[in-house]
Structure 1
Amino acid sequence: MRGDFYIGAYWGPRKETALECARRAELFFHMLARYDPTFTQWYRRGRGAPRELPGHPVRQVVEEWEQLFLRGMNRTDATRKVMEDLGFRADVWNAKTSERTRIELHCGEYSPFGPGNTCLFHPPHEGPTRERILSAPVLAGVLTSIATAWDPDFAMASSSEMVDLIQKRKREVRVGWLTYLSRRLGTVPPLPAPVRIEPVGTLGWLLILSPEPMTASNPEHVAFTARIRELLDRAGLIERPEPGPVRE
């Protein structure tokens, strides 16, 4: 599958400590490791990393993630003062080459004026690993892991090209080949075949529009994705409310 394909998960202000974010990260990467052998070891940047490795290995324990998030606290440009309400960031990957998967995490933000909390999953640019990951079963597993660990308002697997064609408003729930919707948004209406609707615990629903990849280069795929977006919009699930009170 060509194009800038990614998974994006998004949620509003939620005040959490580095330790609380670390617990979520530990659960997320533990679940993620079930879905592909390349998801078992991750690396971070930093001086002194062994040359033969993609970076410093990240141990999948809470203590390691807590320190990683603390190093990724947002600071002012001039005084380097910590801006606590903007939360924590971490960026990890699993290989050196174009076949690496990269994950960007931003959590613990509780400012209504910040960019928002996110989990962004970027698969390899090319190679057999990319083709293996960009399948409905693996992507469903990744989205389920994200939803269970991070409890986002919504998440989707799509290409940037498809998002540009489908999204109508700057601030709205994005619909992709696979889409996760939290129960906080409302109730998912009946949707036409071949859409599959699967519960993710008690948190929300996973919508799989097709067992085959949905691409922006196929007019039928674009039209069907737009139709699903319209049905969800009619059900009140697309428009995102402005950030409200901080979620503890």
Structure 2
Amino acid sequence: MQETYYAATYWPARQGSVQSCAVQSERLFQSLSRCDTSFSHWFRQGKTRAAALSQAFPTDVAGLVTLFDEQTREEGRRQTDGFSADVWNGQSDEDSSSLSFRMGGASSRLPEFCLLSPPEQGPTAERLLRAPTLAQVLRAMVRAFEPEWGLATSHAHRDLVSDSAAPGTFIGWLTYFSHRRGPLPALPPSVHLEPVDTLGTLLVLTPERFTATRPDHLALAQDVSSRLQQAGLLSPLRP
């Protein structure tokens, strides 16, 4: 079975204004457009492909302010609900990626997030499902939202190592730790560590595509996970 992958970052809710959330979102879209050409344009989700392609999603501050203002006026919505988006890149099925995020709220129960689902196979997937490209994607999310934790990995590996998939409690092919989580312990020399500005560290298990079907990949992930657990870095997000 073909493994499917995703990249995501998470953080405890931080209430933000329409303007500040629009600025952060624009920063994300600008950075993603430099990761791959397939991230240059985004569209609202629709019932049909034609319906979605007729609804371009704004990626500039002015357009995002208008969108978020509209969300605040929705019936039954509370001021502390924050803002969200579910968008699609308008590519053919083979090259299709989707992006979702929720931010700017004040819930003590629900973490905020940014989630990218790249295509499963094909030329675009081959470009995106590489450690350097996924590292770029995670760095874009980190610089936009300053999350506490994030990862890029396969759904199969996530389901293998976590019953609940609770953010912060497991690792993936690439895993991001904010400095707020604490210092990283000594790790196997094959594990690559990349600083993300002054915000945190990106941990890359393998330069080749990590897969849940390789025993050596699973053994390395288990070793690293155990060390991080002992150092207190794998725990649920807390407000």
Q: Does the alignment reach a TM-score above 0.5?
A: yes
* Cα 1:131/1:202, change in 2 over 3 Å: same
| Corresponding residue number in structure 2 for 1:210 | 206
- 1:98-119 CA distance string (max 9 Å, x none): 2211100100121113x22010
2:108 and 2:138 map into 1 onto residues whose CA distance is 25
Provide the C-alpha distance between the structure 1 equivalents of 2:147 and 2:129, rounded to a whole number of angstroms: 21
Shift of 1:46: 6.5
Matches within 5 A, 1:161-172: 161-167=156-162, 171=166
Residue segments in structure 2 that go unaligned for 5+ positions in a row: none
Q: 1:223 pairs with 216, 219, 222, which one?
A: 219
Divergent runs of 4+, >4 A: 72-75
Shift of 1:172: 5.0
Q: Percent identity?
A: 35
The answer for the alignment partner of 1:64 in structure 2 is 63
Aligned to 1:201: 197
Give 1:56-205 correspondences, 5 Å limit. Answer: 56-72=55-71, 80-98=75-93, 99-113=95-109, 115-167=110-162, 171=166, 173=168, 174-205=170-201
Comparing 94-103 and 210-219, the one that deviates more: 94-103
- For these two proteins, the number of residue pairs brought into alignment is 237
Asked if 2 retains the 8 angstrom alpha-carbon contact of 1:72 and 1:90, the reply is: no
* Contact in 1 for aligned 2:111/2:237 (Cα 8 Å): no
Secondary structure of the equivalent of 1:33?
helix
Tell me the C-alpha RMSD between the 2 structures.
2.4
- AA of the residue aligned to 1:157: A
TM-score, normalised relative to structure 2? 0.90
Distance 1:70 1:215, change over 3 A: farther
The 3-state SS of whatever aligns with 2:198 is coil
Deviation at 1:67, TM superposition (A): 2.4
Retained in 1: the 8 A contact 2:38–2:91?
Answer: no
Deviations 1:179-232 (A, max 9, x none): 111011001122102111111011000111110111111122112112111111
Q: Secondary structure of 1:81's match?
A: coil
Contact preservation (8 Å) 2:10, 2:167: no
Where in structure 1 are there 5+ consecutive unaligned residues? 244-248
CA contact (8 A) 1:178 1:208 kept: yes
**Aligned pair in 2 of structure 1 residues 241, 27: CA closer, same or farther (>3 Å)?**
closer
Letter in 1 for 2:115: L
Q: Secondary structure at the match of 1:179?
A: strand
Change (3 A) 1:58 1:219: same
Aligned to 1:246: none
Cα 1:172/1:41, change in 2 over 3 Å: closer
Contact 1:101 1:122 in 2 (8 A): yes
TM-score, normalised via structure 1 length: 0.87
SS of 2:56's equivalent in the other structure is: strand
Q: Provide the C-alpha distance between the structure 1 equivalents of 2:63 and 2:112, rounded to a whole number of angstroms.
A: 20
